[in-house]
Structure 1
Amino acid sequence: MPELLHARVEACYRLAEDFFKRPFPRPEVSFRLRGQKAGVAHLHENLLRFNPKLYEENREHFLQQTVAHEVAHLVAHQVFGPRIQPHGEEWQLIMRGVYELPPDRCHSYDVGRRKVTRYLYLCQCPDGEFPFSTQRHNLVRKGRRYFCRRCRATLVFSGEQRVE
């Protein structure tokens, strides 16, 4: 776990404690997040999850903005309760007033799409080709059936795969 990220989480908590004049329990910090999200705050578990790939590619901005963004969610939840909006005025107050940062809801990091495998399923229609995701293909292997809406035939795996 990168020490700089832990240090930034701690710094954000100290700023919040100075601002609100109260202590906050420190969260568990995890680097088990993939995909397009840079970070996620799990409010009821007091857990922060960060995307290691996006951290490595955008380190300076990530440490400054993303870490504060996610810590602000946990702090807002603990100060104002569970009924607030995720990016509502309470969260924005913390971003502006405590961290002196813009309350940006989303990041603009390059999240290049990863390659996905599609499994080709067929029906009896002349142009009846259906690309299935790995998840849907696995459901078929476990016994789930899908049908063509036009000919109503059961879709059958062709044995072909393609990577997109």
Structure 2
Amino acid sequence: MRKLFNFFSSSAAPASPPVQVERTGDHSELQLALLAHLEHCYQLAEHALQQRFPRPEVGFRLRGRSAGTAHLQQNRLRFNPVLLQENPDSFIASVVPHEICHLLCHRLYGRVKPHGREWQTLMLELFQQTPSTTHSFSTASVTPTGVSYLCDCGELKLSIRRHNKVLRGQSHYACRRCGQRLQQARQG
């Protein structure tokens, strides 16, 4: 089980339990800014809805092209540290309320569509955000480029997923043009 520490540990107790953060070492200034905005968003929601909400566990280990994810049953939020670093202002302003609305929706309405009417209403009325299901950040730095394979035609790229299937012996791939079985290119 992950060790957690309380992010907000001042003498004045917040209205609800503080945000729980995965203990992964020191957090960057951007991560601390995100956590502060997350707390601000929860306070706005509590004031507007006249109801207290438990603070989620927050992690910064999300990889890939997703900016954030909400795990409803675990009351947990995960954020992509690379996309946060590359797009700090818009990430904090848009992704944090987006993911919080998923958790609030689950608490208020139970099982509903992830980006349904209830979620959209919370986005608009609580945070004055246009409900959007996807972000528009560049994902070039977090998109895998693939693994090089060779055939008689030249070099081809296989996705990481297909490459892993080859490594496990689950699949073999052939070139569509020449029909030759692909062989992994030698590294360096």
> TM-score surpassing 0.5?
yes
* Unaligned segments of structure 2, at least 5 residues: 1-26
- Tell me the C-alpha RMSD between the 2 structures: 2.9
Q: Distance in 2 between matches of 1:34 and 1:99?
A: 26
Which residue is equivalent to 2:110? 81
- Of residues 127, 150, 155, the one that matches 1:99 is 127
Taking structure 1 as the reference length, the TM-score comes to 0.78
Which residue is equivalent to 2:170? 144
Tell whether the 8 Å contact from 2:102 to 2:114 is kept in structure 1 after alignment: yes
| Structure with the greater alpha carbon radius of gyration | 1
CA distance 1:138–1:25, shift in 2 (3 Å):
same
| Paired AA for residue 168 in structure 2 | K
Counterpart secondary structure, 1:48: strand
Tell whether the 8 Å contact from 1:117 to 1:161 is kept in structure 2 after alignment: no
Question: 1:109: Cα distance to partner?
Answer: 1.2
Q: Distance in 2 between matches of 1:76 and 1:142?
A: 41
CA distance 1:159–1:108, shift in 2 (3 Å):
closer
CA distance 1:138–1:27, shift in 2 (3 Å):
same
Give yes or no for the alignment of 1:52 onto 2:81. Answer: yes
Question: 1:80: Cα distance to partner?
Answer: 0.6
Asked which structure has the greater RCO (Cα within 8 Å, sep 6+), the reply is: 1
- Which is further off, 6-15 or 104-113? 104-113
Question: 1:93: Cα distance to partner?
Answer: 1.2
CA distance 1:92–1:115, shift in 2 (3 Å):
closer
Taking structure 2 as the reference length, the TM-score comes to 0.69
State the aligned residue count: 156
Which residue is equivalent to 2:99? 70
CA distance 1:157–1:37, shift in 2 (3 Å):
same
* Unaligned segments of structure 1, at least 5 residues: none
